Amino acid sequence: MIKSRLCDLVGIKYPIIQAGMGPFSNNNLCVAAANAGVLGLLSTSGIFDKDFQPWVYKAFVETAEADFDDDMGTILEKVLKRTYRLVKDKGGIFGINVMVSAELRLQANIMIDTAIRVREENPDIKKHFKVIFTSAGDPVGLKDKIKGGGFTWMHVVPSVKGALRCKKAGVDVIVASGHEGGFHTSWEPVHSMILLPAVVETVSDKDTLVCGAGGFCDGKTLAAALVMGADGAQMGTRFLATQESDFHQIWKESVVAAEDRGTLIARGFVGPARWLKTPRSIEHAQNTLQKSPGVFLGTPDDFSTIDMNLIMYEIESIKATFEGNKEKALMAAGEAAQRIKDMPKVNNMVQQIVTEAENILRDVPKKLLK
């Protein structure tokens, strides 16, 4: 049986993290992942969208067993209690993914403060709700709040420089995310085969774990991450295309249908994003080239410098996805989509991944000359 330091640190059976994907709710997916023995992560971005994307907000609230007029903290509290109720009997472990960019620090603090309060008011939940995973921002300055609240702290980065920033901040698990990943990607296209071993060599030690993200989707890629010195792998697109996934059926089916060279890069809400290749996303990429060329040149821009028609196009397209309008839908996915050919139940998928990885790792010594 595969076991890594990640398993020991957070109490999961297998060294796999189910990515806290948005913008839609993934409240049901997280439960299924946690009950399958991996780390389930709840996305929280949907809670921010009551006015901006009310269709996303409504779906999140409903799957949280919350009310439309609840405030952000109350909604998160309800989804945390719901998740705990549904995973406790199987020993599932879960956490939340919180975006901590400067524009979202107010919301991020509400999420983190609520998480701390819920754990303190419900001692039994501490055995299951163990992780705060931060993303899309600077981790420095969050240590006292997150680790002081008793959480294992994870943060995702796209570079060695970012990993060193995490090391300075006191992050427990640094997730090195290669450019193969879906939806939000880095401005500079460094891929997992280069990024992951570089981050491992730079920051991994007895106090700091490293996991890979971007392109990991099966036993082969999990085994590769472990052989490169990582403590585990985060998988997003693979978990998206499962029966329990909350994402719209057309999104899941489009991942399964993706073929060779089935994704592309175009503008996203916060920078470059990887989308499934469709006539709609090709048009979006063409518009990006004209209106936000920095996406392809590694030159960051933001809402103050780009043509907002790009962002409005994306919002319209995400809404179309939610409504099942395949013609106008934009659907994010990692490069791994071209290797995903089925839509299994989460537990069956996890078992298949782990079994494949175990068989590969057992065969590795056979490749050495005696």
Q: Is 135 exposed, middle or buried (0-12, 13-18, 19+ CB in 10 A)?
A: buried
pLDDT(201) > 90: yes
110 and 146 fall within a common domain? yes
Residue 251 lies in a domain: no
Report pLDDT for 68: 85
Helix (H) or strand (E) holding 18: strand 16-18
pLDDT(82) > 80: yes
Mean pLDDT of the chain, nearest integer: 92
Residue 252 lies in a domain: no
The Cα–Cα gap between 36 and 348 comes to 8
Range 297-320 burial, b when 16+ CB lie within 10 A, else e: eeeebeeeebeeebbebbbebbbb
Least confident interval from 14-18, 247-251, 340-344, 350-354: 247-251
Per-residue pLDDT band at 25 (split at 50, 70, 90): confident
pLDDT(143) > 80: yes
Backbone angles phi, psi at 118, to 5 degrees: -60, -40
239 and 265 fall within a common domain? no
Q: Yes or no: say if 324 and 250 are a contact pair by the CB < 8 Å rule.
A: yes
Q: Yes or no: say if 180 and 195 are a contact pair by the CB < 8 Å rule.
A: no
pLDDT(5) > 90: yes
Per-residue pLDDT band at 190 (split at 50, 70, 90): very high
Please count the structural domains in the chain.
2
Q: Give the pTM.
A: 0.93
29 and 135 fall within a common domain? yes
Residue 240 lies in a domain: yes
Q: Which amino acid is at 265?
A: I
155 and 285 fall within a common domain? no
Average pLDDT score over residue span 8-34: 93
175 and 289 fall within a common domain? no
Average pLDDT score over residue span 291-316: 85
Residue 189 lies in a domain: yes
355 and 304 fall within a common domain? no
Interacting residues of 72 by C-beta distance below 8 A, sequence separation 6+:
47, 48, 107, 110, 111, 114
197 and 137 fall within a common domain? yes
Residue 253 lies in a domain: no
44 and 121 fall within a common domain? yes
Q: Which amino acid is at 317?
A: S
Residue 55 lies in a domain: yes
116 or 299, greater pLDDT: 116
pLDDT(305) > 90: no
Q: What is the DSSP string of 156-190?
A: EESSHHHHHHHHHHT-SEEEEE-TTSSEE--SS--
Average pLDDT score over residue span 282-291: 94
Q: Using a pLDDT cut of 70, give the percent of the chain over it.
A: 100
CATH of the domain at 138: 3.20.20.70
What the block records as the tokens of 80 is 């945390």
149 and 185 fall within a common domain? yes
The Cα–Cα gap between 318 and 321 comes to 5
**Beta-sheet pairing, 271-276 with 233-235:** unpaired
Using CA atoms, how far residue 345 sits from 38, 72, 241, 271, 342, in Å, is: 14, 31, 9, 32, 10
**Range(s) of the domain holding residue 283:** 259-332
Q: What is the DSSP string of 228-286?
A: TT-S-EEESHHHHSSTT--S-HHHHHHHHH--TT-EEEEEETTEEEEEE--HHHHHHHH
Residue 95 lies in a domain: yes
Report pLDDT for 48: 78
Place of tokens 């997730």: 175
Q: Using a pLDDT cut of 90, give the percent of the chain over it.
A: 69
355 and 228 fall within a common domain? yes
Average pLDDT score over residue span 352-357: 97
Residue 125 lies in a domain: yes
The Cα–Cα gap between 140 and 190 comes to 23
270 and 186 fall within a common domain? no
193 and 91 fall within a common domain? yes
pLDDT(40) > 80: yes
Which strands make up the sheet holding 183-184, listed edge to edge? 183-184, 271-276, 263-268
